[in-house]
Structure 1
Amino acid sequence: MSVEAGAGSKRRRFGNIVIDTKPLQVPAFRRLWIGTAVTAIGSQLTTVAVPKQVFDLTGSSGWVGLTGAVALVPLLVFGLWGGAIADTVDRRKLLLFGNAGIAVISALLWLQAWLNIGSVWLVLALLALNQAFFAINMPTRSAIVARLVAPELLPAATALSGTMNMFGTIFGPMAAGALMPVLGLPTLYLLDTIALVLTLYTVWRLPALPPLSGQVRRAGLRDVIDGFRYMGTQKVLLASFVVDIIAMVAGMPRALFPEMAERTFGDPAGGGLALGWLYAAIPIGSVLIGLLSGWLGRVRRQGVAVVVAICAWGAAIAGFGLAHALWLAIAFLVIGGAADMVSAIYRQSILQAAATDEMRGRMQGAFTVVVAGGPRIADVTHGWAGAGLGTAAASTSGGLLVIVLIAVAIALLPAFWRYRAGAVVE
């Protein structure tokens, strides 16, 4: 074999492993992706700042868990309704509306922290409004992707978007942990506001994205109900939502992070690097898999891959609960993040490929409720379990419960286990 042929073979093998960047050659998708990149870090500053401020005001993981309950209701309502709206209006305009709303709420969060009002109920109220706009924004952004890239590029586009989001959830929390003692907690909200304002320009540059039917109309309750009926006829899609609910509700321990950072890993009361590392560890694993996701497109038994990945997630979270050294806790969370990213890429690819365009917004709305709402429920369950049983017991038992419930779910919905890429969805 010649030297040139050997080098070409190595490049091909490398290209089959690393993330596929071909979707970035599409200008409209590239603009959407850049907007995601700008807000990815900024939004995570607020994600860390809110529970930290609540913990500082109350000194209780139970109150931190309550943030999940407060966020859940607007996510449920506006996630489903927002997905229905995204199927009936110009998605570009709806995305502009959602981004602007989040920016305004972030500015108000900064103002209340800067004025040192000290009201935990005001923080929770602003969080609820933030999540209402987020619930409209997320399914709209996700539903746009399939209109911007060819079907064969959907797995790569999903990996690119997911990796950038996870990239932000690494550096956002780490930046929050480093900046909080220096600049103060209010500055985190301000930086998020600035990032959101900058993102409005990239969304403005997107093409118009009205419904393919050409009929722009109001979305009502009937549209939401039609989405549920459609989902009920698609067993594989339904199962993809069920397994993710199990993984997130039973296994996501993030409500325990503020208490563990201080009382297990020795952070100072004002916040420190341990808190940032705990929030960043899961996304680190996700980004590592995202950057090396070229091989994922060659796996055809995607149902099996999702199940195995979620069981690996549960085992990693159980190990995290038993860890008493920060480095070991981070290592388990990184493994969990890698497993979660594998599951997310396949589940989103199945959803994008199977749903028709007139239902895609509603399916993404349901996806938003599951992906974002599941961890909010987990915040409540883990927060109160941590307060009653201790953080180690809450996390370990949750991870083990994931594995048990996944086995039950697959026994009840075997079509998901049999699903192969490109197959007709049952």
Structure 2
Amino acid sequence: MSAWGLRDFRLLWGGRAVSLLGSWLLVVAVPAHVYAVTGSVVATGLALAAEHLPALLLGVWAGMVVDRWDRRRVMVVADLVRAGAVAGMVVGTPAAIYAAVVVESAGAVAFRPAAQAFVPAVVGVGERLTSANSWNAATDGVVRLVGPPLGGVLLLWAGFEALVVVDVASYLVSAGAIALTRARSVAEAAKPGLREGIRVLAGVPVARVLLPLSGVFLAANASLSAVLVPFGVRELGGAAQVGVVLSALGIGFLAGAVVNRWVGRVQPRTVLAVAQLGVAAGFVGLFTAGGTVGAAGAAVVVGVCGSVALVVPQTVLQRVVPNGFLGRIGAVFLVVEAFATVVGAVAGPLIAEGTSVRTAAFVAAGVTAAGAVAGAVATPRVMLPANGQTIRKVAR
């Protein structure tokens, strides 16, 4: 069954797609701008670290808000906050960009768990949920494919300020689309406190295992993301070449959306292990490539496997956790993601400057591979969809 037949999902998907495109137009422009102004790999990595600081400070609180309030309203307000924050980037200084990134991320801290909880409320937890997450993964792929090179062209043609304006407009469009969806209640959250959310998380074995494993994977991924732009500028030839590599990642993510539909009935621990090993191999290939073509080919592999490695845990959580608790548990995962990303965003550039970018890549690939093996052993089996539904089992 396809989620596309549901009006509210189409509106939610459309708003998300537009705002993602606006954000990806700045994926190359922001770090390239910071690197051009400062000449520092560490300063460039700090831009990525700043993005995840609010999740560390606000993540759990935001999850409780999401489970108590109308999630549609939370997403609309978050989009408006993000639009205002991005507008502040027109100042152009590194300090202004760091501040804008922090505030924009604060909006994302509320938006992401709200969206994760709102999707299964709209489409259910059966086959339509797999369809919805596959649609979102395909959108990620298209945006990754189109956004970076388009952003590079607009940066050269219209300047950094024009890209900022486009991103602001994208958040406003997203807010309007989501406002048109129908509100859903969160009646399952009879006890909306943090303690109750932790109790539910502790009672879901697969969630307990996925939490640290996701952190390890995301830390390694962030360490390489933080050095990708400087690597592309130094080794591949410039920002245009970085845009090609990021577009190749988008092609991989687009292909990964198809794979996600195909692996929906395979045990998640098997899928995750294979996907993370594929990401590790792709990273090694990317950072040892002799040119843009080789790097782009490796990036496709990273995109395919990375898409699966990110979507599968999300789908598992949406199925095994009661919807009234998804905001809190999603926020806990967001906090772990933020902490892991900050660690990776700082560690990657420090290793690269102390040794080399390739050494940092080998370290991150090794960590990713070790996490894949650990996950294959430690992740418990889960009940897979039968007749379009999954039975949720949660400790009482």
- Normalised to the residue count of structure 2, the TM-score between the two structures is 0.91
Question: Match of 1:125?
Answer: 99
* Letter paired with 1:178: V
**Of 186, 194, 199, which residue of structure 1 is paired with 2:174?**
199
User: C-alpha deviations, 1:363-387, integer Å up to 9, x for none?
Assistant: 2222333455544432221122222
Question: Where does structure 1 lack aligned partners over 5 or more consecutive residues?
Answer: 1-19
**Of 226, 239, 243, which residue of structure 1 is paired with 2:209?**
239
Using a 3 Å threshold, how does the CA distance of structure 1 residues 146 and 405 change in structure 2: closer, same or farther? closer
**What number of residue pairs does the alignment pair up?**
387
Give the drift of 1:424. 6.7
Give the Cα separation in 1 of the matches to 2:268 and 2:274. 10
Using a 3 Å threshold, how does the CA distance of structure 1 residues 46 and 226 change in structure 2: closer, same or farther? farther
Query: Contact 1:319–1:396 (CA<8 Å) still a contact in 2?
Result: no
User: C-alpha deviations, 1:382-406, integer Å up to 9, x for none?
Assistant: 1222222121111122112211233
Query: Contact 1:250–1:401 (CA<8 Å) still a contact in 2?
Result: yes
**Of 141, 153, 159, which residue of structure 1 is paired with 2:134?**
159
RMSD across aligned positions (CA) = 2.2
* Letter paired with 1:384: L
User: C-alpha deviations, 1:58-88, integer Å up to 9, x for none?
Assistant: 1111111112332222012333222211100
1:380 pairs with 2:355: no
Give the Cα separation in 1 of the matches to 2:234 and 2:8. 47
Question: Match of 1:143?
Answer: 117
Question: Match of 2:248?
Answer: 281
Using a 3 Å threshold, how does the CA distance of structure 1 residues 225 and 63 change in structure 2: closer, same or farther? farther
* Letter paired with 1:137: F
Give the Cα separation in 2 of the matches to 1:247 and 1:337. 14
SS at match of 2:26: helix
* Letter paired with 2:143: G
1:295 pairs with 2:266: no
Paired residues for 1:8-407 under 5 Å: 22-110=2-90, 112-113=91-92, 118=93, 120-152=94-126, 153-212=128-187, 223-252=193-222, 253-267=224-238, 272-299=239-266, 301-371=267-337, 374-407=340-373
* Letter paired with 1:261: G
SS at match of 1:206: coil
Give the Cα separation in 2 of the matches to 1:171 and 1:81. 35
Using a 3 Å threshold, how does the CA distance of structure 1 residues 209 and 264 change in structure 2: closer, same or farther? same
Give the Cα separation in 1 of the matches to 2:392 and 2:88. 48
Give the Cα separation in 2 of the matches to 1:324 and 1:369. 37
* Letter paired with 2:237: G
Query: Contact 1:94–1:140 (CA<8 Å) still a contact in 2?
Result: yes
Give the Cα separation in 1 of the matches to 2:250 and 2:60. 26
SS at match of 1:327: helix
Which range moves more in the overlay, 85-94 or 203-212?
203-212
Give the drift of 1:287. 1.0
User: C-alpha deviations, 1:180-208, integer Å up to 9, x for none?
Assistant: 12211222111101111122211110112
Using a 3 Å threshold, how does the CA distance of structure 1 residues 408 and 346 change in structure 2: closer, same or farther? closer
Structure of higher CA gyration radius: 1
Give the Cα separation in 2 of the matches to 1:98 and 1:401. 34
Using a 3 Å threshold, how does the CA distance of structure 1 residues 200 and 60 change in structure 2: closer, same or farther? same
- Normalised to the residue count of structure 1, the TM-score between the two structures is 0.85
User: C-alpha deviations, 1:16-38, integer Å up to 9, x for none?
Assistant: xxxx7x10101111110111111
Give the Cα separation in 1 of the matches to 2:261 and 2:221. 27
Give the drift of 1:121. 2.0
Question: Where does structure 2 lack aligned partners over 5 or more consecutive residues?
Answer: 386-390
Question: Match of 1:7?
Answer: none
Percent identity between the two aligned chains: 22
Query: Contact 1:257–1:278 (CA<8 Å) still a contact in 2?
Result: no
Give the Cα separation in 2 of the matches to 1:418 and 1:148. 27
* Letter paired with 1:160: W
